[in-house]
């Protein structure tokens, strides 16, 4: 059976302990908080990667991503080839007054076009201003922290391996082209062409055996 008044004594002990500790209150906005780099503050859009596949808008539980696009025809790359059509982004907006920061849109984007930024200072007095259009979403990209360094023992990502192989192939092709261009020039140099004098027969002005 608890001793009468022990609860009160415990409570007072906690109060005393807390009173003697330093306060953790941060004087925001004079002092900026040190947020972890993966904090969910706002979403940035890397527009160049967006293919308008609409996955993010379809998966968003709040339906707060608005995307408009139109189709454009891309001419065939080679004569006789087929024309292609591609989606061109007209509008990309996120309504942060509805967003619940679940991160599903970022997870499902197959083309790495959406990123979390720890920026959180975008409160507005007008709720309509919380709908960030694509220019504003692009601006947030500057506040997205760099990804952590790869583990040195990790396997090379297949995208980087493919890009490296493409660069190596292009460099090899350029070197082969340069060598092919240099070969006729070397053939045309005096003393190296088919009409060049035999070794030991002297130059055209100097008879064999040297000057008299
Ligand atoms: S974080 Fe969640 S709620 Fe916000 S836009 Fe993305 S999917 Fe929608
Ligand atoms: S999922 Fe990614 S690529 Fe597709 S529309 Fe959304 S941001 Fe663009």
What is the DSSP code (8-state) at residue 73? E
Residue 54 CB–ligand 2 contact under 6 Å: yes
Choose between 7 and 37: higher pLDDT: 7
- pLDDT-based confidence at residue 90 (cuts at 50, 70, 90): very high
Burial state string for 59-91 with b = 16 or more CB within 10 A and e = fewer than 16: ebeeebbebebeeeeeeeeeeeeeeeeeeebee
pLDDT (0 to 100) of residue 159: 87
Choose between 9 and 150: higher pLDDT: 9
**CA distance linking residue 142 with residue 117, whole number of Å:** 9
User: Are the beta carbons of 88 and 6 closer than 8 angstroms?
Assistant: no
pLDDT for residue 161 is more than 70:
yes
User: Are the beta carbons of 187 and 193 closer than 8 angstroms?
Assistant: yes
Closest by CA to 137, choosing from 191, 56, 36, is 56
- pLDDT-based confidence at residue 80 (cuts at 50, 70, 90): confident
pLDDT (0 to 100) of residue 156: 85
Token look-up 């998966």 returns 59
64 is in an annotated binding site: no
Mutate to test the pocket of ligand 1, among 64, 66, 93 (most ligand atoms within 8 A of CB): 64
pLDDT (0 to 100) of residue 209: 41
pLDDT (0 to 100) of residue 98: 97
**Which residue's CA lies nearest to atom 3 of ligand 1?**
99
pLDDT (0 to 100) of residue 70: 95
**Whether pTM exceeds 0.85:** no
Residue 104 CB–ligand 2 contact under 6 Å: no
**CA distance linking residue 133 with residue 124, whole number of Å:** 15
């Amino acid at each position: 059976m608890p001793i009468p008044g022990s609860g009160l004594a415990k409570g007072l002990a906690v109060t005393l302990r807390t009173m003697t500790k330093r306060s953790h209150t941060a004087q925001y906005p004079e002092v900026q908080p040190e947020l972890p780099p993966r904090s969910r503050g706002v979403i940035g859009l890397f527009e160049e990667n967006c293919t308008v596949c609409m996955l993010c808008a379809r998966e968003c539980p709040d339906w707060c991503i608005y995307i408009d696009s139109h189709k454009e025809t891309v001419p065939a790359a080679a004569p006789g080839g087929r024309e292609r059509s591609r989606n061109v982004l007209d509008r990309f907006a996120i309504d942060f007054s509805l967003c619940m920061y679940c991160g599903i849109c970022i997870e499902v984007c197959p083309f790495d076009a959406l990123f979390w930024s720890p920026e959180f200072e975008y409160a507005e007095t007008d709720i309509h201003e919380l709908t960030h259009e694509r220019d504003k979403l692009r601006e947030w990209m500057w506040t997205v922290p760099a990804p952590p360094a790869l583990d040195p023992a990790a396997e090379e990502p297949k995208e980087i391996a493919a890009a490296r192989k493409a660069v190596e192939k292009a460099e090899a092709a350029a070197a082969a082209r340069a060598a092919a261009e240099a070969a006729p020039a070397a053939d045309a140099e005096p003393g190296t062409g088919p009409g060049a004098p035999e070794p030991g027969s002297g130059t055209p002005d100097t008879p064999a055996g040297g000057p008299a």
